[in-house]
Amino acid sequence: MDSVRRFLYQFQLRLDQFIKHDHRQVYKAIYGTSQFPIFFIIQALWSCFVVAKSAQNRRKNPKQFVKQFVVSFMMTFAPREILAYLLGRLSPIKHNPQTLLIYAAIFLLMNVPFIFKLVKILYYFLGIGQGLNQARIFTFVLNKVSLPVNQLLPIALVAAVSDQIIEIVLRTILNSGEETPLSKNMTVIRTSAFCSIFWIMTNYNQLTQYVGIHPKLLSAVILAFVLGAANSTGFISEYIKQSPENQERHSQETYEEQQRCPTRKNIEIQCDLIK
């Protein structure tokens, strides 16, 4: 018990130190680092992996290859290109044209089975990294765009989930793959909810009298890691769902359901036997 108490005491001291001082260094590392190269590579890896995961059961052919390229390309580049255009800033592609080659290399490598499996193993860390990306673009819009609050917040929310929206829309239009827990309507809602909570707790609004105003730097750090954990949780839940035990249970439930509710074909066969 003494060792547990000492551990809890040390943990409390470090937590207090982080809340009072150290979170500023973490904030600077997350939000003060330029998008290229680290965060761009994370975005490209995330986009290509999500699309490859969505299409993993599709037959590989040139048409499917092009569909996946288009979807992951738009996920990687479109959000910040559109934002730069609206803000009158230099295109990120023009600023760093080498990003096109980096993206192409990542896309091609993601279609190699060994690389895909390797990224799948490391997905937990990739999900956290993409959570940082989402928090960065959300807070960037809040800090850099001068608009009334009722217009600014929706724009910031759309920016935060824009890559997910692009994947959902293009996947549906192009029929490039299947829905996965990594990018679906619920992930958009979840990310928007966390970002909205951050805004409510760090800006004066009608709920301030109930929740108060919290430090923006610390809240931004928490938001980044909450979004990252949420991204990783989606993959973990799918991994658990696909475990052999759960697949066997699902097969058994499907069989029992078919026995309770026979298909039209089975009904016709039973009728033929009665005749």
CA distance 236 to 83: 32
pTM above 0.75, yes or no: yes
Diameter over CA atoms, the chain = 83
Choice between 167 and 3, residue whose per-residue pLDDT is larger: 167
Structure tokens at 2: 């003494």
Give the tens place of pLDDT for each residue, 167-210: 999 999 999 999 988 888 999 999 999 999 999 999 988 888 89
Measured CA to CA in angstroms, residue 217 lies from 128, 222, 273 at distances of 18, 9, 73
Per-residue confidence (pLDDT) for residue 106, from 0 to 100: 98
Domain locations in the chain as residue ranges: 28-242
Structure tokens at 120: 């799948």
Give the tens place of pLDDT for each residue, 66-108: 999 999 999 999 999 999 999 999 999 999 999 999 999 999 9
- CB-based contact 211:201 (threshold 8 Å): yes
59-68 own/partner pairs: CB under 8 Å, 24+ apart? 64/176, 65/111, 67/174, 67/175, 67/176, 68/107, 68/111, 68/176, 68/177
Q: How many CB atoms lie within 10 A of CB 35?
A: 19
Helices (H) and strands (E) in the chain, counts: 14, 0
Please confirm whether the linkage preceding 37 is cis (ω < 30° from 0). yes
Sign of CA dihedral 186, 192, 193, 195: positive
Residues in the chain: 275
